[in-house]
Amino acid sequence: MEKLNDIIEVVGRLLLAALFIPAGYSKIGGYEGTQGYMEAMGVPGSLLPLVILAELAGGIALLVGFQTRLAALGLAVFTIIASFLFHSAPDQMQQIMFMKNIAVSGGLLLLVAYGSGAYSVDKLLANRKQQVTA
């Protein structure tokens, strides 16, 4: 069962990363539109490079399991803030997006609590460090 859990941890990280990496990448191609949308929602468009960096770097970190707890915490905070800024309208679609983001944040917080799992850069680095100190 432990091997299955190891695989499930990788798949979980992959699925979470699959949300952030394409989102960050699409903002590069649609930069002006995204910047305009942010400004229309009262968020300075000058923050867009930080948003892109957070989504791409955080998503890649989750994907490979590098600094997973830190990346997951940063993305959870980012996602909760984005939920309140962009999805707090009372219409049904925005409420669905809001609740989806809150659920994603819950998954990210589980990574903060439990780490990246066996198949990750974090685990590889921990094993190397342990071998060096032994």
Q: List all residues 6 or more positions away from 124 whose beta carbon is below 8 Å from its beta carbon.
A: none
Tokens 């009262």 sit on residue: 42
pLDDT tens digit sequence for 73-92: 999 999 999 999 999 999 99
Cα(85)–Cα(72) distance, integer angstroms: 20
Domain that holds residue 84: 2-133
Cα(30)–Cα(41) distance, integer angstroms: 17
Burial 48-79 (b: 16+ CB within 10 A, else e): beebbebbbbbbebbbbbbbbbebbbbbbebb
pLDDT tens digit sequence for 88-134: 999 999 999 999 999 999 999 999 999 999 999 999 999 998 888 86
Q: Total domain count for the chain?
A: 1
pLDDT tens digit sequence for 32-77: 999 999 999 999 999 999 999 999 999 999 999 999 999 999 999 9
- Integer-rounded Cα Rg, in Å, for the chain is 17
The DSSP result for 42-53, as a single string, is: T--GGGHHHHHH
Cα(82)–Cα(68) distance, integer angstroms: 20
Burial 9-43 (b: 16+ CB within 10 A, else e): bbebbeebbebbbebbeebeeeeeebbeebeeeeb
